[in-house]
Structures are given as C-alpha cells and as structure tokens.
C-alpha cells in the first residue's frame, strides 16, 4: 500500500466519498420506495463533542464533533419518523415488551464540557434522555487524551520525531497539511489494536518537551466532578462508566482489566451516589473488545454495555446486552437524512449483503 502524505490524503478522501455516496444512494432509495422498508426496533446513537464549528485547519478527529444545529435537526427528524426516545437503561425492557414503535437512545462518550453547554439544552428542549460515559482519569486529570495531544503537537511542529514502537525512532516532516495528517495517521496505526500505554507515555513526553502540557488539554476539554454534578441535575441525564484510562481493554492483562472496570464504576458512583448500570468500552471496536471483556463487564454487575460496532438493535441483540451496537453521528456526515436512514438499519443490511 502506498504511504506518504499524498497517499494518506487520497485514502481519507476516497473513504469519505465512498461513505457519503453510499448514504446518499440509500437515503434516496428509502425516500422513493426503491429500498424495502426496514424499521429497526432500536437504535443507540454515539456522540462525542457537540459544539459550533471551530474553523480548524488541521482537524484529524473531526469525525468526533457535530454541531448543535445538526444534533437538534437529527432528533427532530428521527422523532418525526416515529422513533421514540428512551433512556439507555430502559431500552432492553421497552423492546422486550414490544414497544409501540421503534425506539432510540442517545449516548455521549468521554464527558466533554460541550456536552453540558450545548448538548444538554438540546436534549431538554426535545425531551430526550441521554447517557454520558465518564472516563475517570479524564475527570481527575490523571490521564491524557492522546488524540487531542497529537492534534496540538503535530499541528505545532514542522518535524515530528517519534518512536512509534515498530521501526525505532522516526522523523516525519510535518510542514504541510497532508504531512500532518500522514504523521497523525501513522500514530493512530501504532496505537490501534495494541497495548497503548508506552506509546502514550512517549507522546506526552514529546508534547512536554515542546511546551505542551497534555493534562491542561484535558482540563480545557473535559467536565470535572462539579460540572458532571450540574449535568445530572437534569432528570434526563445519567452517567455510565467508560474505564479509568480510556485503554484498549482487549490488550490489558486480566488483573488490570478488572481493575479498570471496577475503579471506573466506583468513580461514577462517587459522583452520583449510585453504582452505574451502563458501561461503554473505550474505542469499542473488534480490536479493543471481545468475549473476555463482555464477560468481565457482565460479572462486574452492569446491566448493559455498548460497543462502537455499527448496527441497530433487534430483539436477538437485546438478549446479549453487554455487546450492544451503536450508530455514530459522525462529524463528516451531518445531514438529517443520513441519521434517519442509519436508524432504519438499511446501511448495515446492505453492507452485510455486499460482504456476503
């Protein structure tokens, strides 16, 4: 596979164009009746940031941010299509009882400050319950957020000298925008499907050498305990656990896996006064979570847990409540027709059909 800044930019463009094209085709097919009607019983939506556009030139994690206008428009459109909002903890029971029409639940990962400032008013205006999954180390400012550290660091540097953990120290020119994206994507590949601890330590050290304090970034971005208490003063808001260090759990030894789960539950309970019933696996894809992690969360007493594996929720899925799929409301695809067609389950059925 071709590497280098131009190849990275091309791959990003091809991927986004292909997904956009697919969503447009399926949206049109659904609206014109060319596609069979699909009415998924349940849809759990994933969000991270909800805030106005910041006008960033280098924005490698733009997929994690949607605008308040889009979120509100998506909620209105989903409700207009007959989908009923329910609290995440109520979703399995509502589906088991044969809820009157399809249901949806909203979740937000990591606990960003904009969830309080921008997302909460939208959910309150529209009467939509939601769950914020809290990463204990972010709340306590003991753990950094590597993708935010990397964005600031690579955005600042003209050359990124770093040991990615495979071929020894590497020097990458990062003067141009394509070069910066190439360096960020190289870092992402080194962290994906791996034990991330040492690489994140190196990244934090590199940031500090270059005058960037990773924990100050966390302090700017993530709600503290006081702000989380303000959030859950709303009867529509609830907190779930999301580990302590936001680690790739599949790569932890057994003792640390259970420690991450239990400590994260205790941290949320210290804020709310009640042990959380829900858990979100960090990263949540097939590289980061598997059967061992599903069983560990179940044994820890959580009622249900969510992945980031894309898909809708059917009655059969609810019988395995510790491995629930979610649908990402992605910053690259902020059109209400995409939200409604994703909630229908049509894109996931089409992908399964194509993959055979």
What's the pLDDT at 165?
Answer: 87
Percent of the chain at pLDDT above 90?
A: 76
DSSP state of 224: -
pTM to 2 decimal places = 0.94
What's the pLDDT at 1?
Answer: 47
Q: What is the mean pLDDT of residues 266-281?
A: 98
Q: CB-based contacts of 85: which residues, under 8 Å, 6+ apart?
A: 75, 79, 103, 104, 105, 106, 126, 127, 128, 129
d(CA 188, CA 185): 5
The answer to whether 190 and 166 have CB atoms below 8 angstroms apart is yes
- Output the CA–CA distances (angstroms, integers) from residue 314 to 86, 87, 155, 186, 343, in the order listed: 15, 17, 43, 37, 12
Q: What share of the chain is helix, strand, coil (3-state, %, to 5)?
A: 50, 15, 35
Domains of the chain with CATH codes: 5-143+239-355 (3.20.20.370), 146-215 (no CATH)
Q: CB-based contacts of 25: which residues, under 8 Å, 6+ apart?
A: none
d(CA 24, CA 204): 40
- Point out which residues pair with 50 in neighbouring strands: 66
Asked if residue 73 has pLDDT above 90, the reply is yes
Residue scoring higher pLDDT (32 or 75)? 75
Torsion of CA 259, 264, 269, 271, to 10 degrees: 140
Beta pairing class for 278-280 and 304-310: parallel
Average pLDDT, the chain: 92
Alpha-carbon Rg for the chain in angstroms: 20
Asked if residue 38 has pLDDT above 60, the reply is no
Q: Residues 131-159: pLDDT tens digits? A: 999 999 999 999 999 999 999 999 999 99
d(CA 288, CA 242): 13
Element (H, E) at 161: strand 159-163
What's the pLDDT at 349?
Answer: 82
Per-residue tokens: 230: 């303000």
């Amino acid at each position: 596979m071709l590497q280098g800044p131009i190849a990275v930019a091309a791959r990003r463009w091809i991927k986004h164009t292909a997904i956009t094209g697919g969503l447009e085709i399926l949206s049109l097919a659904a609206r014109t009746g060319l596609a069979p009607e699909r009415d998924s019983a349940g849809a759990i939506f994933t969000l991270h940031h909800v805030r106005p556009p910041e006008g960033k030139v280098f924005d490698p994690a733009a997929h994690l941010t949607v605008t308040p206008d889009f979120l509100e428009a998506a909620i209105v459109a989903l409700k207009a299509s007959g989908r009923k909002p329910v609290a995440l903890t109520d979703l399995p029971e509502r589906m088991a009882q044969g809820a009157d029409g399809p249901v949806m639940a909203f979740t937000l990962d990591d606990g960003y400050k904009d969830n309080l400032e921008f997302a909460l008013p939208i959910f309150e205006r529209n009467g939509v319950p939601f769950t914020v999954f809290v990463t204990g180390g972010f709340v306590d400012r003991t753990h950094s957020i590597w993708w935010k550290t990397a964005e600031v660091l690579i955005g600042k540097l003209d050359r990124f000298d770093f040991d990615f953990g495979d071929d020894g120290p590497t020097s990458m020119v990062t003067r141009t925008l394509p070069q910066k994206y190439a360096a960020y994507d190289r870092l992402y590949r080194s962290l994906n499907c791996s034990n991330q601890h040492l690489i994140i330590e190196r990244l934090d050290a590199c940031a500090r050498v270059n005058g960037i304090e990773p924990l100050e970034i966390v302090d700017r971005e993530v709600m503290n305990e006081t702000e989380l208490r303000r959030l859950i003063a709303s009867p529509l808001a609830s907190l779930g656990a999301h580990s302590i260090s936001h680690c790739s759990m599949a790569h932890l030894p057994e003792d640390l896996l259970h420690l991450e789960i239990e400590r994260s539950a205790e941290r949320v309970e210290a804020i709310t006064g009640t042990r959380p019933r829900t858990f979100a696996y960090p990263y949540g894809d097939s590289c980061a979570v598997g059967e061992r992690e599903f069983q560990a969360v179940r044994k820890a007493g959580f009622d249900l847990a969510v992945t980031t594996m894309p898909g809708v929720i059917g009655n059969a899925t609810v019988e395995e409540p510790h491995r629930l799929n979610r649908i990402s409301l992605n910053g690259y695809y902020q059109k209400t027709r995409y939200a409604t067609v994703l909630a229908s389950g049509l894109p996931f059925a089409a992908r399964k059909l194509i993959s055979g």
